[in-house]
Copies of this chain bind each other. A is one copy, B any other.
Amino acid sequence: MLNFLNKSCANTITLMNIIFGSFSLICTVHGDFTNAAIFIILAVVMDGLDGKVARKLDIMSLFGKELDSLCDLVSFGVAPAILIYMQVLDPLIYSLGIIVAVFYIVCGAFRLARFNVLNISDFFVGIPITLAGSLVALVSLLAAWLPGTLILVIILLLAILMISNFKVPKF
């Protein structure tokens, strides 16, 4: 019973991650880019908390792992890509903006599927999607002071780094 409650607690935090990711998308479609970025950062906090709770309570369930990846794709793949597309890439160069945004989402999905299959516990292969999503949210908040083409290059670079074989240590 206690184990069930603990698992439910961790899964509820995971669901808060996707809820904040979805709120970010809703803010983006209404043109409220600042709150869209803030919701991505709140999803990052939930993702970190969720991992901490699961490790502390020693309850890494298979269901929790699957749910976590799915939520991560929405909050750190889809939400940041659509946010930066609407805010910067679309006004910049229409078609190229679509390609870069969709490429970022595809790389995010690839990164998460590979992570689940590799199951390496010492380091990450390719930068984690949570890190990429946080950086896109940060870029979005600083967008007024950055050149559009630089933002385009950053998004492209983050997408490539996610699917790269670059080893990132776990902390």
Interface centre among A28, A62, A74 (most CB of B within 10 A): A74
Contact partners of A109 in chain B: CB under 8 A: 15, 18, 67, 70-71, 74
Among A47-55, A97-105, A130-138, A144-152, the one that faces the other chain is: A97-105
Contact partners of A116 in chain B: CB under 8 A: 62, 66
User: In the assembly, what is the distance between CA of A96 and CA of B106, in Å?
Assistant: 31
Report which of B23, B70, B77 forms a contact with A69, defined as CB distance below 8 A: B70
Among A1-9, A78-86, A120-128, A154-162, the one that faces the other chain is: A78-86
Those of A2-51 within 8 Å (CB) of chain B: 15, 18-19, 22-23, 25-26, 28-29
Is A73 interfacial (CB 8 A cutoff)? yes
Chain A binding site: helix, strand, loop or mixed by DSSP?
helix
Inter-chain contact A66/B117, CB cutoff 8 Å:
yes
Given contacts A63-B113, A67-B113, A78-B78, 18 further A-B pairs with CB under 8 A are: A18-B105, A22-B81, A22-B106, A23-B98, A26-B82, A26-B102, A29-B82, A62-B116, A62-B117, A63-B117, A66-B112, A70-B73, A70-B109, A70-B112, A73-B74, A74-B74, A74-B77, A74-B105
A-B contact pairs, 15 of them (CB 8 A): A15-B109, A18-B106, A19-B102, A22-B81, A22-B106, A23-B102, A25-B78, A26-B82, A26-B98, A66-B69, A66-B113, A67-B110, A67-B113, A70-B112, A74-B109
CB-based closest 9 A-B pairs: A67-B113, A66-B113, A22-B102, A70-B109, A63-B117, A66-B116, A22-B105, A70-B73, A62-B117
